[in-house]
Amino acid sequence: MASDDVRIGGRKIRDLPKVSLHDHLDGGLRPQTVLELADQVGLDLPASDAKGLGAWFSDHIDGGSLEDYLEKFSVTVGVMQTREGLVRTAKEFVEDLAADGVVYGEVRWAPEQHLTGGLSLDEVVDAVQEGIEEGEDAADARGQDIRVGQLLTALRHNDNARDIAELAVSWRGRGVVGFDLAGPEDGFLPSGHRAAFDYLAEQFFPATVHAGEGAGLASIRSALIDGRAPAARPRCAHRQRPGRRLARGRGGAGHFRRPGALGPRP
Ligand SMILES: [Zn+2]
């Protein structure tokens, strides 16, 4: 039986309404889109066709350390440095969620990784928001109702988490529904970003923290205490379909969130 035909109570699983709370924008690109955008910006890729690129990701994405895994995202992040690239990938991301039956989604990504084309932090968030809204409109035109909110990710090995927190709060009510902390984990406890988490708490702004992927209990404890993320959801989404989308999320990852991020796009 093809995976598209799996049914529960006579209904296709794909058609059932779903909520997606842990997807990474730079981990959900269509291989063909990566090829076309790479061609436009002159980026070398490890494969020359969509099938080969999907296979390369499938072969390389699992195994190795968290740091090795994160390195693979240089391929996708590399084609998301222009407004056009960000709008297109965000739009397609939403369309693909809708095709899977998702009615509410949160998509996380790190704005500071998308500045090499000369865009500002504000401009990259604006570009992704435009793409999300275009994707929602395209889904609506097909009779699919979906709302998607942004989670802005700060990188734990950098020292600008407070700036990203302020960026996220400044977009409250305009499409950003939360803050996230991610990146190389070992040696970079959430407590190192206490100023950002204190600010977010003062602003009553939802936060999520990756923890438990690349470090142990101390990291998880710091996520819960310093990140004030008392509700634990222990695994990242991991939905990989070679040939259609590149890897999304990482199996076995830990992720903790403060309650309140879930809700309709304002
Ligand atoms: Zn994640």
Q: Say whether 95 is catalytic.
A: no
Q: Residues 249, 84, 172, CA angle at the centre, nearest 5°?
A: 65
The mean pLDDT value for 123-150 works out to: 97
State the catalytic residue, choosing from 92, 95, 106, 213. Answer: 213
Dist. CA 23 → ligand 1 center (Å): 7
What are the φ/ψ torsions at residue 247 (nearest 5 degrees)? -60, 145
Residue 121's pLDDT is 98
Q: pTM (2 decimals)?
A: 0.84
Residues, beta carbon < 5 Å, ion ligand 1:
236
The gap between the terminal CA atoms of the chain, to the nearest Å, is 40
Rounded percentage of the chain residues whose pLDDT exceeds 70: 82
Q: Report the 10 Å Cβ neighbour count for 70.
A: 17
Give the DSSP letter string of 205-247: --EEEE-SSSS-HHHHHHHHHTS---EEE--------TTT---
Return the structure tokens found at 66. 């968290």
- 8 Å CB contact between 190 and 222: yes
> Which of helix, strand or coil describes residue 66?
helix
Give the DSSP letter string of 125-175: HHHHHHHHHHHHHHHHHTT---EEEEEEEEETTSS-HHHHHHHHHHTBTTT
pLDDT above 70 for 96: yes
Dist. CA 24 → ligand 1 center (Å): 6
Dist. CA 86 → ligand 1 center (Å): 19
Residue of 68, 86, 99 whose CA lies nearest to 26: 86
> Which of helix, strand or coil describes residue 22?
strand
Dist. CA 249 → ligand 1 center (Å): 5
Dist. CA 50 → ligand 1 center (Å): 24
The mean pLDDT value for 251-255 works out to: 44
Tens-place pLDDT, residues 159-206? 999 999 999 999 999 999 999 999 888 888 888 999 999 999 999 999
Can you list the domains of the chain with their CATH numbers?
A: 19-257 (3.20.20.140)
Residues paired with residue 109 on neighbouring β-strands, in sequence order: 152
Dist. CA 9 → ligand 1 center (Å): 31
Dist. CA 141 → ligand 1 center (Å): 30
pLDDT above 50 for 135: yes
Return the structure tokens found at 61. 């994405």
pLDDT above 70 for 254: no
- 8 Å CB contact between 115 and 121: yes
Distances (CA, A) of 211 to 34, 63, 208, 214, 215: 29, 18, 10, 7, 7
Dist. CA 76 → ligand 1 center (Å): 15
Q: Which residues of 223-233 are buried (b: 16+ CB within 10 A; e: fewer)?
A: bbebbbbeeee
- What does the alpha-carbon distance between residue 9 and residue 17 come to, in Å, rounded to a whole number? 14
What sign results for the dihedral spanned by CA atoms 123, 127, 132, 133?
Answer: positive
The mean pLDDT value for 57-71 works out to: 72
pLDDT above 70 for 216: yes
